[in-house]
Amino acid sequence: MKLKLTRPVALFTLSLMFASVAHAAETKVISLKVNGMTSPTCPTLLKSAVRKIKGVKGVQASLETRSATIEYEEGVTNLQAIQEQIESAVGFTTEVN
């Protein structure tokens, strides 16, 4: 017996397949020590630069602690890409806390 897929059933099946793939990426959170932040605008510049990276879900930055916490989807982006973006966009070097 052959099962006939109607268009709505086929579309629903495809949407389930893509939903499974979308949830496959693991969310990671990293904490970075940020060298070079000296003014109150620095955290804003850093956040703006990091948010441009595909896969970044959230970013917080603090001038007081000279640090940043970044939530991202592993497999979409990675630590090296984030650190390179921060250094090239705003000139700050970073180290993992």
| pLDDT tens string 45-96 | 999 999 999 999 999 999 999 999 999 999 999 999 999 999 999 999 999 9
Strand partners, 93: 35
Least Cα distance to 53 among 27, 78, 16 occurs for 78
Report field, pTM of the whole predicted structure over 0.95:
no
Indicate whether 12 pLDDT > 60: no
Q: Is 28 exposed, middle or buried (0-12, 13-18, 19+ CB in 10 A)?
A: middle
The end-to-end CA distance of the chain, in Å, is 60
Strands, E, within the chain: which ranges?
A: 26-35, 56-62, 67-74, 93-96
Task: Kindly state whether residue 6 falls inside one of the protein's structural domains.
Answer: no
- Structural domain of residue 57, as residue ranges? 25-96
Cα–Cα dist 5/14, whole Å: 12
Side chain identity at 44, as an amino acid letter?
T
> For the domain that residue 40 is a member of, what is the CATH number?
3.30.70.100
Task: Kindly state whether residue 42 falls inside one of the protein's structural domains.
Answer: yes
